[in-house]
Amino acid sequence: MNAQAEEFKKYLETNGIKPKQFHKKELIFNQWDPKVIVYKNSCFYVQNLDYLKRYAPKLDEWFYLAYPATWGKLN
């Protein structure tokens, strides 16, 4: 898991979204099914952006400040 994934994991955990599964190359963030965020092959895949905006309202702030190019793709 790279530094970006670790940083993102810590951010989500402080906002109440805890990873359900950990793998060396894949990180799945989820409290309930379906999967909310999947980290795979050095990329984040957001499966349910509405859920994240509701339960992690500062998610957009994190992406905007830390990875503006990534947030542009999500928003």
Residue 73 has pLDDT above 70, yes or no: no
Q: For residue range 33-70, list pLDDT tens digits in order.
A: 556 777 777 677 777 777 777 766 666 666 666 666 66
Q: What is the structure's pLDDT at 41?
A: 74
Indicate the pTM of the whole model: 0.38
Torsion angle of C-alpha atoms 46, 48, 53, 55, degrees rounded to 10: -110
- β-bridge partners, 43: 40
Convert 12-34 to b/e letters by CB count within 10 Å (16 or more is b): beeeebebeeeeeeebbbbeeee
Give CA 21 to chain center in angstroms: 13
Q: What pLDDT sits at residue 30?
A: 46
The per-residue pLDDT for 67 is 63
Q: What DSSP element (H or E) covers 38?
A: strand 37-40
Worst-scoring range by mean pLDDT, 9-18, 20-29, 61-70?
20-29
**Measured distance CA(55)–CA(15) in Å, rounded:** 8
